[in-house]
Amino acid sequence: MLKYLVILLDDTSTSFCHYDNRKSESRLMPIETLKGGIRFGMMENLMIQFVYPVDALPLEHLKAIETIDHGVIAPSGSPVSADVVVFNDWDTFLKFDYPDMGTFVLRTDSKQLCENPKYLESVLYQVTRLNIVLTDIETMNDEDFEKYDRFLDELRGIMKRLYLKGYQTQCNLITDRIVLDAMNNCNAGTESITLAPNGKFYICPGFYYDGLDAVGSLEDGLDIKNPQLYRLDHAPLCRICEAYHCKRCIWLNQKTTIEVNTPSHEQCVVAHMERNQARLLLNELQDRGIYDKKQEIKEISYLDPFDVKDEW
């Protein structure tokens, strides 16, 4: 069932996820479209997430936004107070003056991430939750995987130190899997849908920015073809997988395999490396009495469920 409506307020609204937004020219969502989107969200009982550009919005847009309970996703340079602050570069990420509350998203390629684990530590002491989003999963090769695994190893050490000092910081790459006992994916197309500045609906913002087909419009309503294919039970690999924290990114799926329900090898390997490091972290924290011993993440021998699909 749909729960969330993501509204892109401008063509230059920040990306907050795996997709890139390469649009540099502002195209503000017309006020009537914005009001129509809010009305749609209200009628369908959807929680609206507004995605902001760096530039300030006109007053009438801000007023319209305040007519509904909502969440704010904004880039780090935006003047608005955001629930989710997105960093697209390391410099700003490291120099930012972090408030007490909020979720922070760091979008980075794996190369930069793997070079900077130490810098990450200082930020992790300042926030309650950090989401790290890799922007180059689809191009990662075996060498990159090795580096990423080494990085995760270091991240595990950082998280362990934090927890032993009494911090309860969450970092999606390693702590999410520990607290999950069922799939918790992005669910674009089943739980969330995106409204673009052109008044059309898309599965996620990435589909809009890549010029892919819309799935309806404010004018004609939502029309998702083959809706079952976005559901977990119609994803042959993911439905038997237990990398529960994995985004199961629909946008990456269609980009790499053509099928929205089929992940690439790279997405699976990355998620399983994270899962395996979460397992080690859990064991270490259990040894120090921080987690209940009953909780278990099983040891597995594969990094890509595709390689063992015949056994299921």
Partner 1 sequence: MEAIIKSQNEQWRSGIAKGITFIVTKDCQLACKYCYLVGKNSKERMPWSIAKQTVDYILDHENDFKEESVIWDFIGGEPFLEIDLIDKICDYIKMEMFRRNHHWFNSYRFSFSTNGINYHEEKIQQFIEKNRNHLSIGITIDGTRQKHDLNRVYKNSERGSYDDVVKNIPLWQFQFPGMGTKVTISSADLPYIKESVLHLFSLGIPEVNINCVFEDVWKEGDDLIFQNQLIELADAIIDNGLYENNVCSFFQEHLGKPLDRKLQNQNWCGAGKMLAVDAAGIFYPCTRFAQYSLRDKKAWIIGNVNEGIDKNKLRGFLTLDRCTQSTKECIDCEVAEGCAWCQGENYDAADTCTAFQRSTAICKMHKARVRANNYYWNKLFRKLELEGIERERANEHVKQPQMKDIC
Residue number with CB closer to ligand SF4 (64 or 268) = 268
What is d(CA 60, CA 65) in angstroms, rounded to the nearest whole number? 9
What is d(CA 65, CA 83) in angstroms, rounded to the nearest whole number? 14
Residue 72 binding ligand SF4, by CB under 6 A: no
Residue number with CB closer to partner 1 (18 or 156) = 18
Phi, psi of 200 (to 5 degrees): -105, 155
Residue 180 binding partner 1, by CB under 8 A: no
E-assigned strands of the chain?
4-8, 47-51, 70-75, 84-87, 103-108, 129-134, 170-171, 192-195, 201-202, 216-217, 221-222
Of 22, 118, 225, 294, the residue at the interface with partner 1 (CB under 8 A) is 225
CB 28: neighbour CB atoms within 10 A? 18
Residue 107 binding ligand SF4, by CB under 6 A: no
> Do the beta carbons of residue 81 and residue 72 sit within 8 Å?
yes
Residue 186 binding ligand SF4, by CB under 6 A: yes
Residue number with CB closer to ligand SF4 (34 or 252) = 252
What is d(CA 209, CA 27) in angstroms, rounded to the nearest whole number? 13
Residue number with CB closer to partner 1 (121 or 210) = 210
Size of the site for ligand SF4 (CB under 6 A): 24
Residue 309 binding partner 1, by CB under 8 A: yes
CB 138 to partner 1: min, Å:
8
Q: Report the interface residues with ligand SF4, using CB under 6 A.
A: 17-19, 186, 188, 204, 206, 237-238, 241, 243, 246-252, 263, 267-268, 271-272, 305
